[in-house]
Amino acid sequence: MVTTKIAHEREETPGPAGLPTLQPEMPWHVETLQRLLAGSERLPHALLLLGTPGIGKSRFAQALGAALLCESPLPDRRACGRCDACGWVAADTHPDLRRLSLVIDEDGKQAREIKIEQVRALADFLVVGAHRGGRRVGLIDPADAMNMVTDNALLKSLEEPGDGLVFVLVTSRPDAIPPTIRSRCQVRVIEGPALEEASAWVQGQTGCSPAEAGTWLAIAGGAPLNAIGFAEPAQSAAHRTMLEAISRLPDTSPVAAADALQPWHGRQWLPLLQRWLMDLARCSAGAEPRYFPAQSARLVELAARIDPPALAEAGRGLAAQYRHVEHPLNPRLFCEESLEVYLGAFGPAGTR
């Protein structure tokens, strides 16, 4: 028995059915959504929304789904938020909406994958016509949290789309979407906001100063939904600890760094390691660091010790590691391997 309860991205808060509440799109996505809805008669039966984490893709997908089901849409075709259909969507009880996301298992942990019974339930939903006579919407987020079995089950649904059916798949990791699924979807890249807009939003959400917003946005790679996390002391402290462990390398051992990173999931420390490497690349080319301006002195010092071709190789190596970030066979070993890949930028072991 699977209970449906989880918020896998920060932007979501649990709703009445245990799923994250459907929330409106982020302000920077209004225009993109309006453009997409303007041609909604010609919407393909499957859309794959790609974009970096923390920019509001999930909300975008939810707002799109709500708009397609709304029975009294606004002039720009976005959901009215007031009709019966919008009420059911908000309560996650709309009979023509199915949402597949990561659930909380009985042991209280977030499932790592979308489960086959979830996809099978979707297939059942598809064979029944629309209850309200309009469209039906299947939201799959994150779409990269599928495995071969669930992908195959979904593929059948994608191959035989029913009338008025729209699948909306969301991912930050397009590499993890199999070509068979991808080729059946129309791909849309969802962009994040410009820095000024992101900064204003972060300040509005947290009450922080423009300088703090700038620092958090830099660390979060410009992703505002991730940046607001740093307003929480616990996250901010975790970030400092992880960054300290990474920045001490190669003057400390990868084992010591892996010990320090142990409490956190790879999806937290690996992007940090990747950004740190990108900043090293920038510093070695004489540019200012983009993500860690406060660590500029250490970055410059380390940049003088790296070998540029080896750094490029380490960057590719970390990107390859990222493909396994959700499902490492052995998390501890995965961490040490990733740190070794990073250390490759400083030349072979023994010469660093």
Q: Catalog residues that contact Zn ion under the rule CB under 5 A.
A: 70, 72, 79-80, 83, 86
Nearest to Zn ion of 82, 332 (CB atom):
82
> Minimum distance from CB of 70 to Zn ion (Å)?
3
- CA–CA dist 143, 155 (Å, integer): 12
> Minimum distance from CB of 88 to Zn ion (Å)?
10
Nearest to Zn ion of 79, 137 (CB atom):
79
Nearest to Zn ion of 80, 238 (CB atom):
80
- CA–CA dist 29, 190 (Å, integer): 8
The residues, ordered by sequence, that sit 6+ positions from 159 with a Cβ below 8 Å of its Cβ are 184
**Type and span of the H or E element at 188:** strand 186-189
The 10 Å Cβ neighbour count of residue 179 is: 7
The answer to whether residues 52 and 9 touch, using CB atoms and an 8 Å cutoff, is: no
- CA–CA dist 32, 23 (Å, integer): 16
- CA–CA dist 24, 61 (Å, integer): 9
> Minimum distance from CB of 38 to Zn ion (Å)?
17
DSSP string, 287-302: PPPSS-GGGHHHHHHH
C-alpha distance from residue 345 to each of 94, 246, 283, 288 (Å):
52, 13, 14, 19
> Minimum distance from CB of 95 to Zn ion (Å)?
15
Nearest to Zn ion of 83, 231 (CB atom):
83
Of 332, 352, 327, the C-alpha closest to 342 is 352
DSSP string, 138-173: EEETTTTS--HHHHHHHHHHHHSPPTTEEEEEEES-
The count of residues in the chain is: 352
Q: Is 14 helix (H, G, I), strand (E, B) or coil?
A: strand
> Minimum distance from CB of 81 to Zn ion (Å)?
6
The answer to whether residues 11 and 55 touch, using CB atoms and an 8 Å cutoff, is: no
The residues, ordered by sequence, that sit 6+ positions from 243 with a Cβ below 8 Å of its Cβ are 272, 276, 292, 295
Rama region for 264: left / alpha / beta (φ>0; ψ in -120 to 50; rest): beta
